Amino acid sequence: MNEKGLDQIQGLLVASLGKKENQEKLKVRKLMIDWPTIVGKSIAGHSAPIRLEGKELIVYAEPGGWLQNITLMSSMIVAKINEWWGEKGTRIQKLRVLAKRDDFQSFRLDEEVVVKSIPLVLDNDDFSWGAAKSIRIENEELSKKIVKAMATYRAREKRNQRENKPKCKICNIFIESTDSYCTVCEKVEKEKRKDQIRQFLLANPWLKPKEIAESENYSLLEIKEVRNLVIGDLSKKVLPGEEMSSSGLTLVMLLTGKKPFDLDEEIIKTVWSRIQREVRNEEIKKIQDILAEFPTLTFEALRDMIPITQKEFLIGRKNLLNQWKKQIKKGQEVSLIGLKAAMLVSHQEIEIWEDERILRIWEQIHKASSYIFKYRPKS
């Protein structure tokens, strides 16, 4: 294929991209309108989808019980959204549930609200331009479609120029927002900046985020985010016995703000003792998160998923139950969290309508009998 043909295909791709972005924006708007139908009026009355970030949907929820319940039900809600979306593959992979801001009003939309896409009007000049720029192929039907796609691209470009829409500083395509970059280039730029910050931190691990922000062209928020990622990566990378390695000492300098010549054996030992405690706490938190979604999992089943000790499993299980106990008052045991707590204690699947069974288990939980937390292998 010659260079001209490649240029023409690129033009088609640009046209298709713009169309897909517009369709997705309309789909997200439609999701907001259909929210009560998707999740039910009860949940919709206390929550609202706000925006889509990649494959993660951001949802506001009322603080307290609704925030907790919607978070726990996130897997079910994601499945319902993907079923509603109706496209092949998984469109939404994760739900991020945030506490409703004070200035955020409950999501309300009149039934008369209709999302409309303003159609492009194609004239003869657009079709002439499209025909001149299109690849010559024998299939007449496909050729017409290509010409129309090119004409649509031309018409969209003219409309964008008339409306004086901004262009991406990198790829020069028209963008909907007043930002400097299109969504693709913005992501590339963010990753590039993150990598630059990462390299700077590894070269100067003793510098504090505020010091870097004052001397370099990075925001404090960017620096802190990347710094946390670097600390997390190094914590996992450095194995026991490698504390005095280059990566091990870099991690100590990141955490203490001390330069290489200020480090001694006592400082390194103290810091690494703290790191190991925090890593263990993270593992326990990971266990809690998994059990919160799958409360009937046994130690053996969870150990097959992630490397954990029996002691870590018991601590994570006990912490999660105590957390749920604080949220459930007497008389509120038959609820989503109450049900999950009952399954966590019994290692058995229980249905929400099995009130008596749930209440019997909660009698044991309220007594806080020590045997509840003892590990009993599932036969």
Class of domain 3-99: alpha beta
Local confidence band at 204 (pLDDT 50, 70, 90 cut-offs): very high
Q: For the segment 90-105, what is each residue's pLDDT rounded down to a tens digit? A: 578 888 888 765 444 4
For the chain, the average pLDDT equals: 76
pLDDT > 80? residue 367 = no
Percent of the chain whose predicted confidence (pLDDT) is above 70 = 81
Answer whether 0.75 is exceeded by the pTM: no
In the chain, CATH 3.30.300.180 covers: 3-99
Worst-scoring range by mean pLDDT, 75-79, 130-134, 254-258, 262-266? Answer: 130-134
Worst-scoring range by mean pLDDT, 55-64, 199-208, 301-310, 364-373? Answer: 364-373
Between 190 and 373, the more confident residue is: 190
Most confident of 162-171, 182-191, 252-261, 334-343: 252-261
CB 257 within 8 A of CB 208: yes
Q: What is the 3-state secondary structure (H, E, C) of the chain?
A: CCHHHHHHHHHHHHHHHHHHHHHHHHHHHHHHHHHHHHHCHHHHCCEEEEEEECCEEEEEECCCHHHHHHHHCHHHHHHHHHHHHCCCCCCCCEEEEEECCCCCCCCCCCCCCCCCCCCCCCCHHHHHHHHHHCCCCCCHHHHHHHHHHHHHHHHHHHHHHHCCCCECCCCCCECCCCCCCCHHHHHHHHHHHHHHHHHHHHHCCCCCHHHHHHHCCCCHHHHHHHHHHHHHHHHHHCCCCCCCCHHHHHHHHHHHCCCHHHCCHHHHHHHHHHHHHHHHHHHHHHHHHHHHHCCCCCHHHHHHHCCCCHHHHHHHHHHHHHHHHHHCCCCCCCCHHHHHHHHHHHCCCCCCCCHHHHHHHHHHHHHCCHHHHCCCCCC
Local confidence band at 118 (pLDDT 50, 70, 90 cut-offs): low
pLDDT > 80? residue 372 = no
Local confidence band at 376 (pLDDT 50, 70, 90 cut-offs): very low
pLDDT > 50? residue 375 = no
Local confidence band at 200 (pLDDT 50, 70, 90 cut-offs): very high
The residue-averaged pLDDT of 193-213 equals 90
The residue-averaged pLDDT of 273-281 equals 78
pLDDT > 80? residue 111 = no
